[in-house]
Amino acid sequence: MPRVKLFDENEVLTKAMHLFWKQGYAATSVQDLVNCLGINRASIYDTFGGKAQLFKKAFELYRNINLEGVIRFFENQPDVKIGFSELFQKAIQDDVLDKDNKGCFVVNTTTELVPNDKSLLVILEKNKQDFEKVFYKYLKKGQESGQLKTTHDLKAIATLFYTLYNGIRVVSKTRPSKKESSDSITIALSLLD
């Protein structure tokens, strides 16, 4: 008779995401996962395939939540320049208020596991492309509606804004300075004038 799972896979995956995000891959043991997730080792392996596979699924969950959140955020921001300003300010605020000083799971994974784990390079490159595409579409919308007068290459600006967005998250882990980050954002946004 097959075993019946007595746990919600999505709930467990969300808990794993938060644990890996806080501690990183290497610092999270299987026993840490057992303790945090409330399931036994066998269930981790049977359901997720082991620590490495669980990490990748948790990382993908974070990636999807983050990307969908930015898309929804932009949908509710009709003014493109204000929208980017608010997005960057929200990143600063989230990092300043984060008592665990986690930063961004994508940035953390990049600095911890690349270049040693080549399989993550594909996922990280896809993440970069996905965000740059969302940023570009939002910029294009602003240009087409007459909000943005810039003559700069919008794809280059999208790449710059992606770099800035991630850079804010890196800097916040060492010394979150709202003023310094805000000043950098103001300069970057001046490219849209």
Residue for token pair 């080549």:
118
CATH H-level superfamily of 77-192 = Tetracycline Repressor, domain 2 (1.10.357.10)
Helix (H) or strand (E) holding 96: helix 80-97
- Alpha-carbon distance of 15 to 69, in angstroms, equals 19
For residue 61, what pLDDT is reported? 96
**Contact in structure between 59 and 20 (CB atoms under 8 Å):** yes
Torsion of CA 129, 131, 135, 138, to 10 degrees: 110
- CA separation for the pair 49, 72 (Å, rounded): 32
Q: Where are the beta strands (DSSP E) in the chain?
A: none
Distance of CA 187 to the CA centre of its chain: 23
Residues 6+ apart with CB under 8 A from 49: none
What pLDDT shows up at residue 129? 97
Question: Residue 111 has what pLDDT?
Answer: 84
What is the full per-residue pLDDT of the chain (193 aa) written as tens digits? 445 566 788 899 999 999 999 999 999 999 999 999 988 898 898 889 999 999 999 999 999 999 999 999 999 999 999 999 999 999 888 877 878 878 889 988 988 887 777 888 888 999 999 999 999 999 999 999 999 988 999 999 999 999 999 988 887 777 666 777 888 899 999 999 8
Q: Where do the DSSP E strands lie in 33-115?
A: none
Say which CATH topology domain 1-57 has.
Arc Repressor Mutant, subunit A (1.10.10)
Q: How far apart are CA 63 and CA 123, in angstroms?
A: 9
3-state helix, strand, coil in the chain (%, to 5): 75, 0, 25
Domain boundaries, the chain: 1-57, 77-192
Q: pTM of whole model > 0.75?
A: yes
- Sign of the dihedral defined by the CA atoms of residues 35, 39, 40, 45, in that order: negative
For residue 76, the one-letter residue type is N
The predicted pLDDT at position 77 comes to 96
Write out the two tokens for 171: 């800097």
Instruction: Give residue for tokens 């932009």.
Output: 74
Q: How far, CA to CA in Å, does 49 sit from each of 36, 42, 95, 124?
A: 17, 9, 32, 21
Q: What are phi and psi of 159, to 5 degrees?
A: -65, -45
